[in-house]
Structure 1
Amino acid sequence: MKLPSIPTFDKHMARVDWRRSHGETTFNRFAARGKPKLHGVSMAVMAQRGSCGVKVSSRLRRNTELTDLVAPGYSSVRQEIEETLWAGHNLAYGTTGIFAEWAGPGIQKKDAVTRIDRPRLFVFAAFSVNFGKDARLLDRWSAGEDVDTRELYGRISIVTDPGVLSRILNPCPHVEIIPWVTGELRTDGASDEQVETVMREVNDIVDAYAREDGYILDRFGISGPGEGVVIQPVSQAFNQATMLDLSELSWKAKTDHHAVKKVSAPATRAVEIPAGLPEFIETFVTPARIEQMISENFPDGPIDSKGTGRFVTAMRVDVMKESIEERQALGLDDVRIVMAIEAAARQAWKEAMARLPQAEMGI
């Protein structure tokens, strides 16, 4: 399953403004709260009825065996995680699983979570799929084929509330449930004061996480920075919200170190437009985006000259996808922008080859 992309606050509010201007009101039927965003690999871990194991889909690999991606050689870890997932499976129907961040030592670098005692799955939602009689859609989805996103997401029920998740999943030393770290946050755009209050609270929290990940410190006694927060709709039962709600109502705010776009604050009301092409490149070809492109496209290496074209292509596609509003406002020809992105990407890859020793192929 492809994980939904989570926008920043400015992109989230642009979507809210558009929906309000077109008379939509149902998008604000859920309360929203924030959870810590952990620096790891986001994934869907699925247990399908009639199968004998658990499958994993992530931005790195799709529909692989759990043991291959998560813990090669550690059958006890696999068994414990599978038993945890099957507990939730027994309470629902069809295909059941979790959305989680696989984080800990050896997965990413620098943040506090990378220094805990062992890697864990940090759960931020559980899901249950009901395709009804449409077995063809189920077969295509299970095989990893692309299906209509809104149709698929609308048939996937989700639970995000940590208290409910703790009752759905069996206790397991390799699975943690991420808690809420904010109160209720309303972002329906009803008033400027409401939006300013949310931005102020979230920016203060993210600034604090840049210095200290309070969740990891409290849970594991490990001091160090965090990545930021993710705001999710609150769903306490499988029949309350769908993955479509999760996709359309979630947003994120990251610390400066992790932001793939250079911004004035973690959460801003309006999309910030670069002054010109040099500023555009500085805004979008950031160290965090470079690290993300290497991690996603070269998880096992090698970081060498043969990978230049692949890296440049990945950077161009990602920046162009994420900069639609900025490019339209800037008014520059896309050909010029693409050439500048590719030049910056080639330089970044050259620096990565010099920076990363052969012993460190993954990021």
Structure 2
Amino acid sequence: MTNSRLLREKAKRAAQTELARRKAARSDLLSFTSYTMVGYKVGRHHRLLCDKLNAVERGEIKRLMVFMPPRNGKSELTSKRFPAWYLGRNPDKQIITASYGANLAQGFGRDVRNLVGSPEFGTLFPGVGVASDSAAKDNWHTTKGGVYSAMGVGGGLTGKGAHVALIDDPVKDRQDAESIAINSGHWREHAALMSRELRRELDGADTGRVLRELQAGQVDLITSLPREAADRAQRIARESLITGARFDELRDEILRTGEVTESRATLIARTETSKASTMLTEARAEAIGSPGYTWRSHRDNRTRPSHREMNGQFVAWGSPPTLDGLTGHAGCVPNCRCFARPILPYE
């Protein structure tokens, strides 16, 4: 009896340990990597990189650049494990991976596809896998409608959209890296591709229409400007989502009206640029059935106490909170640096 009880206790502890590992792997990239890659050795730089990539998945970081020496695990985490983990958590989303050559990009695609189709992945994300009709390593679908695409410079990605765009090794070697002409050409190609797809969404997709409707409902709140100038300010803010431009252009346009001071123009420009980004997030989230979002605040002295207290709180898209007398979603009131992390319908 004693041996039997000890065996049961041992099995129970093993089961609890396994369940804890699975839970951690679903919510943390480094834990996912350790779970799906036996013998993975974790260094401090891996922890830092995974922390940043976790923030990318949560929507807290919009643009991330990674610089590491060769053979230090950058591509393993960024271009192989992260896309698979991201699709596990967001199986209906789309990812594009680009590189200097088709072979390298397709190699990433093959590794991610094989990982998503592995038994370990299926244990962590039941029901999510590679669609049965997806055999290509550079363009395949998940069983939940997500899409992974990979292409080298010069390849045809026109018409494909992405929630996450990865660029790994955009240049082949040092000679190409030091070539101004090659660097400029690669950058223009990647930037133009992403801009085209975002413009296509904002001009023709339902999310773009909803964004314009949301902005129209807010235009009367820009009380410092005539209606025509306020409409123009919103159009420029919407355009900045495509071009990646800062608020400076919008500020200068507002100043040309002669209606406000430079400080007021700066405040309006920053607010409208941030609101446009949040409203696009809202339009995209509601399109897939998201009920609301988790409010995220920066933890520094510049964050207002009322906004700091909102950190981690659920907010329904149709019920923006009123804080300090101002009503609006995260990032949609003056001088608000907070942001929304949408709650997906299956979470």
> What's the TM-score once normalised by structure 1's chain length?
0.29
| Structure with the larger helix share | 2
Task: Tell me the TM-score normalised to structure 2 length.
Answer: 0.30
Larger Rg: 2
Q: Whose strand proportion is higher, 1 or 2?
A: 1
* Structure with larger RCO (C-alpha < 8 A, sep 6+): 1
